Amino acid sequence: MLPRNMRLSRAHFAPSGPEKRLASPHFSLSVRESSSQGGCAAVVSKKVAKLAVSRHRLKRRILVSARPWCSSSCAVVVYARPGAAELSFEELHAELSSLLTRALGQVR
């Protein structure tokens, strides 16, 4: 779990300012420079995983994989796409790491 100061609230999801968007087969990523508060968030809809247990598990796995890229200087929002719930953790981590590396560069 991310520390509270690295979690994004719903207010950070509203479009404000320029953002960088990237996509892979199972994830979509939105990165926005933030002067006030940065951090990470994961969005998993019912289209991706029907059961709440599956949605929360996928959300926790996404946040664990994205944690090294979370910083206070940018807001990172990861949107899961259909099929992401069936990935093993290794496949999820590899795909998300390559996507975040393309967006933010190497881990700081």
Question: pLDDT, tens digit, for every residue of 60-95?
Answer: 999 999 888 887 788 888 999 999 999 999 999 999
72 or 46, which is more confident: 46
Position 67 in a domain: yes
Q: What is the mean pLDDT of residues 24-52?
A: 88
CATH number at residue 10: 3.30.230.10
Position 97 in a domain: yes
- Amino acid at residue number 2: L
pLDDT at 36 over 90: no
The 8 Å CB, 24+ separation contacts for 15-24 are 20/103, 22/99, 22/102, 22/103, 23/81, 23/99, 24/95, 24/96, 24/98, 24/99
Q: CA-CA distances (angstroms) from residue 32 to 1, 58, 60, 94? A: 21, 23, 21, 22
pLDDT at 70: 83
Strands 20-23 and 27-33, by their bridges, are antiparallel
Position 57 in a domain: yes
Q: What is the mean pLDDT of residues 15-35?
A: 83
Range of the domain at 39: 4-103
pLDDT at 105 over 80: no
The total of structural domains in the chain comes to 1
Position 77 in a domain: yes
Position 36 in a domain: yes
Position 108 in a domain: no
pLDDT at 87: 94
pLDDT at 4 over 80: no
pLDDT at 22 over 70: yes
Crossing angle of helices 89-104 and 52-66, in 10° steps, is: 50
pLDDT at 60: 93
Position 13 in a domain: yes
User: What does the block give as tokens for 55?
Assistant: 């949605």
